[in-house]
Chains A and B, each alone.
Chain A
Amino acid sequence: MNYTLDFTPVINGLPSLLAACLGTLGLAVGGMVLAIIIGIGGVILRDSPIRPVRWLVKAFVELIRNTPFLVQIFFIYFALPLAGLRLDPTPTAIIALGINGGAYAIEIIRGGVQSISKGQVEAGLALGLHKSQVFRLIVLKPALRAIYPSLTSQFILLTLTTSVASAIAAYELTSVAQRIESDSFRSFEVYGAVTLFYLVMSWLLMSIFGLIQSRYFSYPVK
């Protein structure tokens, strides 16, 4: 082994790599917002009185959860123009991430809604709480508390998944890394450094989410 590691391409490319981290986070945030919208909509439709609608939601969840994101993003990338939507790779990636995350969000949010039993609401009303208080304190907060951990870990997972969006050349960390790599041929150094970037990002997100959880969503001690 007579290879000397050379991190100059990484150091020279640092500004664009750091900017690309923001691109990655942007993709993740955009995808997650869309995912939560799809999630809430899906949960409502899943209880629809119309059977084909319920069936469609279930089919959507199963279809997305049992196929690779890479295939989904390729499919969407080619399908959108046919549907008359000509978008850049980055918005396309956000849509793909949103659809993918949405299928998981439906399952997570459904679990949260089911965790609130009807008796709790009735008990709250019996104690003389106002309807809005019941909704805020007895329905919303416990439901959020129940889904918060899974929803945030889903967000971190989505952040890691954004790297696959490099396959359609969306603007994010992996595609910028690939560009630097193809200019410098320092594959191991570039990808090693970028791996570290991802690690730092997921750690940061994890600690921020943990902080919010202990501040707002911790279970009452007593």
Chain B
Amino acid sequence: MGLNEFIFLLVGLKWTVFLSAIGFACGGITGLGVALARTSGIPVLERVTAGYIALFQGTPLLMQLFVVYYGLALMGLRLDAWVAVAIGFTLHASAYLGEIWRGAIEAVPRGQTEAAKALSLKYVSRMKDVILPQALRISLPATIGFLVQLIKGTSLAAIVGFTELARAGSIVSNQIFEPLTVFGIVGALYFAMCWPLSLYGAHLESRFAAATR
């Protein structure tokens, strides 16, 4: 494998990072909305978001990407491939992060909400200043775990036809007929992104476990 092929892989890597970042950032914002709606105490909102989460957790990411990709086209939206795929990852991430953060919000002791109410804090301030900072801390290991899932998940954009790292690997592999070398390097690049995150997540988890013991 020559330098040109490797650079081609790195361009794919750039798109993988980009897709992961967009999916995580946009999914994080909508996911927060999902988590808040899921814990709002309003039955309709809770049921709708519960269904939304169940839908995304019960179907393969690949199918979600296909449906969003072709669904957007049906709605007459002429989008670039990366925009369509990014919307797919955003929806996927919002459901998973919504569920992780719902759990974290519910894990904050009830007394915190009661104390905040007793101090006559309104909903926004109660959430923003009291509950969410604590929930964020609790959810951090799981959130990082999901980020790793998301980075790995962006490889499925390759099947939809978007040239990120995995598809760049397929293309190079078809050109130079060294599939093991190419996919070995592609795997190593993913590993280099995901492993430090996994280690950091595990480190946080053990630190929290020690703190609550």
Contact = CB atoms under 8 A, between A and B. Distances in A.
Nearest to A72: B187
A199 B59 contact: yes
Interface in B145-160: 148, 152-156, 158-159
A75 interface: yes
B82 interface: no
Contacts of A63: 187, 191
B195 A68 contact: no
Given A66-B191, A71-B169, A166-B159, A78 B58 contact: no
Interface stretch (A86-94, A111-119, A188-196, A211-219): A188-196
A74 B180 CA distance: 9
Contacts of A79: 180
Interface in A155-197: 156, 160-164, 166-167, 174, 187-188, 191-192, 194-195
Contacts of B71: 188, 192
B183 interface: yes
A7 interface: no
A contact face: mostly helix, strand, loop, or mixed:
helix
A68 B62 contact: no
Contacts of B183: 71, 74-75, 78
A71 B60 contact: no
A70 interface: yes
Contacts of A163: 60, 62-63
B179 A198 contact: no
Nearest to B190: A67
Interface residues of A, number: 37
A71 B190 contact: yes
A198 B59 contact: yes
Contact of A65 (B59, B66, B76, B198): B198
B159 A68 contact: no
A91 B30 CA distance: 40
Interface string B59-83: 1111110110011011110000000
The residue in A74, A82, A195 that gathers the most chain B C-beta atoms within 10 A of its C-beta is A74
A99 to B, nearest CB: 13
Contacts of B173: 74, 78
A44 to B, nearest CB: 22
Given A70-B156, A188-B71, A202 B187 contact: no
A82 B62 CA distance: 29
Nearest to B183: A75
B40 to A, nearest CB: 25
Given A166-B159, A202-B58, A195 B190 contact: no
Across the A-B interface, give the 10 residue pairs with the lowest CB-CB distance, nearest first. Answer: A68-B155, A78-B179, A66-B194, A163-B60, A68-B152, A191-B66, A187-B70, A202-B58, A188-B70, A160-B60
